[in-house]
């Protein structure tokens, strides 16, 4: 086990999948800094005090939880929570600028340009936190959402996005995924994943560790970034190209043009 890796300090959706068929994303804006900071502290307290507890990488034991709960903070969210400027300055430019300012580099142009993004993504400076609920039943999603927003003092709900897995591990592009899962050095029991694949270094998904690239390590403020991970939330209405486009691009790739 890597000495600096502490499972209880790592959100559980980074190095593993929960295998739950339903997911709900709550897009939130901080409206009361003190209340929001109290909410965050309560979410990792173990006691809860009515706030959903963040699911970590710590072992579950013999019984899996009915629901899992995780959060992601944007740069604007850290700013709204009162994070010191010296700490914020330690994050990479890509994170600080956000996706809207980097739209051209990311290929979000034309119909996908920021000015055409649906609410609440059309006003990204107000998106401070995205809370994710994983569950087996719709009623469980509703229950955890009520708990997360109880009182309505800390956050304003800007939007909700629901997701549902396809049967038999198929994705919306038509192919089957989830055939194997990556293993990370110092995290998983290798006897559980005998797939012949080498273990990936922790820096593949976690900040503050060595990566696959020699000498490359993402440096972030240790007090808020270590054992964290960057994630991009992309809202898609689907594609007009479909399978035929993907197959054509695959053929071009194999042919080298």
Q: What is the model's pLDDT at position 230? A: 87
Nearest of 158, 166, 211, 194 to residue 29 by alpha carbon: 158
Q: Name the strands in the sheet holding 22-30, side by side, starting at the edge strand that comes first in the sequence.
A: 68-73, 129-135, 22-30, 155-164
Round the average pLDDT of the chain to a whole number and report it: 84
Q: Residues with Cβ < 8 Å from 160, sequence gap 6 or more?
A: 24, 25, 26, 27, 145
Residue tagged 């990479």 (tokens):
92
Strand extents, DSSP E, the chain: 22-30, 68-73, 129-135, 155-164
pTM to 2 decimal places: 0.85
Model confidence at 256, pLDDT cuts 50, 70, 90, reads very low
| pLDDT tens by residue, 91-142 | 888 899 999 999 998 888 999 999 999 999 999 999 999 999 999 999 999 9
Reading the block at residue 6, the tokens are 């502490």
What pLDDT, in 10s, does the model give residues 29-85?
Answer: 999 999 999 999 999 988 767 899 999 998 888 888 999 999 999 999 999 999 999
Q: Which parts of the chain fold into alpha helices (H)?
A: 33-43, 75-80, 85-88, 93-101, 103-106, 138-149, 222-225, 242-255
pLDDT of 155 reads 97
Does the pLDDT value for residue 1 go beyond 90? Answer: no
Q: First and final CA of the chain: distance in angstroms?
A: 44
Say which residue, 92 or 193, is predicted with more confidence: 92
At residue 69, φ and ψ (nearest 5 deg) are -140, 130
Longest dimension (CA), the chain: 59
Q: Indicate if the pLDDT at residue 203 is higher than 90.
A: no
> Is 60 exceeded by the pLDDT of residue 238?
no
């Amino acid at each position: 086990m890597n000495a600096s890796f502490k499972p209880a300090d790592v959100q559980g959706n980074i190095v593993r999948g929960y295998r739950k068929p339903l997911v709900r994303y709550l897009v939130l804006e901080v409206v009361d800094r003190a209340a929001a900071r109290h909410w965050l502290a309560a979410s990792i307290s173990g006691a809860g005090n009515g706030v959903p507890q963040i699911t970590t990488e710590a072992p579950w034991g013999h019984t899996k939880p009915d629901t899992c709960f995780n959060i992601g903070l944007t740069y604007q969210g850290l700013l709204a929570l009162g994070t010191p400027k010296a700490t914020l300055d330690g994050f990479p430019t890509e994170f600080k600028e956000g996706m809207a300012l980097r739209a051209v580099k990311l290929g979000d142009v034309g119909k996908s340009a920021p000015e055409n993004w649906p609410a609440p993504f059309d006003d990204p400076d107000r998106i401070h936190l995205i809370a994710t609920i994983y569950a087996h039943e719709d009623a469980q999603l509703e229950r955890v959402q009520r708990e997360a927003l109880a009182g309505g003092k800390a956050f304003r709900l800007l939007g909700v996005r629901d997701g549902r897995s396809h049967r038999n591990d198929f994705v919306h592009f038509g192919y089957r995924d989830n055939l194997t899962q990556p293993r990370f050095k110092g995290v998983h029991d290798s006897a559980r994943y005998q797939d012949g694949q080498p273990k990936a270094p922790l820096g593949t998904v976690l900040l503050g560790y060595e990566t696959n690239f020699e000498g490359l390590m993402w440096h972030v403020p240790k007090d808020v970034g270590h054992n964290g991970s960057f994630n991009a939330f992309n809202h898609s209405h689907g594609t007009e190209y479909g399978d035929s486009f993907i197959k054509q691009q695959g053929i071009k790739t194999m042919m080298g043009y």
